[in-house]
Amino acid sequence: MSLRLYFLRHGQTAFSRDNAFCGAGLNPELTEDGQAMAQCFANAYQTTPWRAVYASPLRRTIATAKPLCDAIGAKMELREDLMEIRYGKWEGKSVEAVNREFHDDYIRWSADPAWNGPTEGEPSVVIARRALQVVEEIKQRFEDGNVLVVSHKATIRIILCSLLGIDVGRFRYRLACPVGSVSQVEFTPEGPLLHNLADRAHLDARLRSSRGT
């Protein structure tokens, strides 16, 4: 048996619902639908034999991991390196507002976020460096089994790009990661193998069609 990492994006927040920038600088709670997404994941995956559960220390990721941890009696391992991108001066703003107020920075970031961060925020290469440290920690700790990693939209996509050999500057345009979705990577002798991307089969039809990103 090999090591499998499940990357779960947190449930819906008011910011994801309204498609506003919400990074490490904001710490919203889950909406009622977001809480339902977390419970749906726990219901569907509590029989999976988990070795560990890692999570970003923000409220939305802790609340998403908690139902599963409660169901299986697992300790939640919190890691700051799994936090979302730091959006700097863009935090809490709509795409339209950012494009208007920070137009040049927004254009540069949109073209190549690997090396161009949001205004006073983080470029993708920095996020990749910190987040992959957690992946390496898990690989050193566990040779096999299933490990859950509860994180954020940009962070998960950047991790996946890094593992799969995709330019991290393309993370916004190559991989989907809606709220409540889970992606699974197996570490094989030939390298990381993607089994599922942005799977939401554990959510009911209403939650899958809920508003937002």
- In the chain, domain spans: 3-86+127-208
pLDDT of residue 213: 83
Q: Does pLDDT of 87 surpass 90?
A: yes
pLDDT of residue 211: 87
Q: Does pLDDT of 212 surpass 90?
A: no
For 172-191, the pLDDT digits (tens) are: 999 999 999 999 999 999 99
Name the percent of the chain lying above pLDDT 90: 98
CA–CA dist 97, 103 (Å, integer): 9
CB 201 within 8 A of CB 171: no
pLDDT of residue 152: 98
Q: Which residues contact 191 (CB under 8 A, 6 or more apart)?
A: none
- Enter the CATH code of domain 3-86+127-208: 3.40.50.1240
Average pLDDT, the chain: 98
CB 52 within 8 A of CB 148: yes
Q: Does pLDDT of 1 surpass 90?
A: no
CA–CA dist 168, 164 (Å, integer): 10
- Alpha-helical segments (H) within the chain: 14-17, 32-45, 59-72, 95-101, 103-111, 124-141, 153-164, 171-174, 205-208
| Amino acid, res. 205 | A
pLDDT of residue 150: 99
| Reported pTM | 0.97
Name the percent of the chain lying above pLDDT 70: 100
For 130-173, the pLDDT digits (tens) are: 999 999 999 999 999 999 999 999 999 999 999 999 999 999 99
Location of structure tokens 């998960």: 156
What average pLDDT does range 97-110 have in this prediction? 98
What average pLDDT does range 65-75 have in this prediction? 98
Q: What is the band of 85 on the pLDDT scale with cuts at 50, 70, 90?
A: very high
**Angle ∠(42,193,84) on CA atoms, nearest 5:** 55
Residue 32 burial by CB count (10 A; 0-12/13-18/19+): exposed, middle or buried? Answer: exposed
Q: Does pLDDT of 91 surpass 90?
A: yes
For 2-31, the pLDDT digits (tens) are: 999 999 999 999 999 999 999 999 999 999
